[in-house]
Amino acid sequence: MKISVNSPSKAIDLTLTLSCGQVFRWVQYGGSWFGTLGKTLVKIRQRKGYLDVQSSHPILRSTISNYLRLDDDLESIISELSEDTVFSQVAYEVRGLRILRQDPWECLISYICSRNSRISMIRRVLNNICQRFGEKVTLGEYTNYTFPRPEEIVEAKLSELIGCGLRYGRVQAEEIKNAAELVQKGALDFNVLKRMSYPEAKTKLISLCRGVGSKVADCILLFSLEKIEAFPIDVWVARAMATLYHKYLDKRLVKRILSNPHLSNADYERLSRFARDHFGRYAGYAQEYLYHWIRTKNVECDA
């Protein structure tokens, strides 16, 4: 299947989008990207002006374009954000990065696992979870595993989850099982969250799911629940803000960030409110661009 991405509104850098750290399980192999969407193993290769898609099972064109958020007019989003001249410089250096529309369940578990960890390790933990609890899928010579459903995690033994290499062992294993139970019981309904306003959905997520605080909630809301105004702030984004936007921020706040980028709740709130005021409805896009910019600026991405 070919999906045209030939117009500026549909611009995409597939490699950048899949490897920038918003999603953890895509693998590049032989010039193509492999990942699972539901039970289907998908292979995507970017060609001139289009994406070439193959899959282990029949898949709709709309499933792919929906996942890649090709419905977002990237050109107009970036031009709206670029009224800020600082951002326009960042956007000049980072082109074709799109927010994905991930599966909320997988996104929830992924970001529970992400806390105070690093991308290479998050990837390993999630792959271990999929290998133990997911299903094997193959496409040609390539093999991958699906992300387990909540029912499969509800049945999982704590010790097996801990064995997947979680950063905070038992604590996170319990958080993951707790989340699975909430979803299975229907107490956590992602479609309801999608219909809520950003602040309501955030409050709901944090109060319901152990292991989900401000940062993790913002990631889930941005990457899987249609809240493009969400602005997750990790140590990197905090640094980017302190570097690029210090003139808008309290001097002591900037100093606190630069000396210790782990934010207190109060500072998280301050920065996050500034970001949504400053960037507006597409703050989440601004966040991803800043995140990628600061990481490639200072350090070689830990791939």
Partner DNA sequence: CCCCAGGCACATT
Partner DNA sequence: AATGTGCATGGG
19 binds DNA (CB under 7 A): no
x-or-dash string of contact with DNA, 280-299, rule CB under 7 A: -------xx--x--------
CB-based contacts of 43, cutoff 8 Å, min separation 6: 32, 33, 34, 53, 54, 55, 139, 140, 142
121 binds DNA (CB under 7 A): yes
* Binding residue for DNA, selected from 232, 241, 285, 289, defined by CB under 7 A: 232
- Select 90 or 137, whichever has its Cβ closest to DNA: 90
* Beta strands per DSSP E along the chain: 2-4, 27-29, 32-37, 40-47, 50-55, 136-139, 142-145
* Binding residue for DNA, selected from 38, 96, 261, 280, defined by CB under 7 A: 261
- Relative to beta strand 50-55, strand 136-139 is unpaired
- Do the beta carbons of residue 86 and residue 245 sit within 8 Å? yes
Interface with DNA in residues 187-216 (CB under 7 A): 206, 209-216
165 binds DNA (CB under 7 A): yes
236 binds DNA (CB under 7 A): yes
Residue 42: CB minimum distance to DNA, A: 20
Helix (H, G, I), strand (E, B) or coil at 286: helix
Gap between the Cα atoms of 224 and 99, Å rounded = 9
- Select 213 or 280, whichever has its Cβ closest to DNA: 213
Give 115-147 as a DSSP string.
TT--HHHHHHHHHHHHHHHS-EEEETTEEEEPP
Tell me the window of 37-45, 48-56, 67-75, 232-240 that interacts with DNA (CB under 7 A).
232-240
**Contact positions vs DNA (CB under 7 A):** 20-22, 114-121, 165-171, 206, 209-217, 219, 232-237, 261-262, 264-268, 287-288, 291, 302
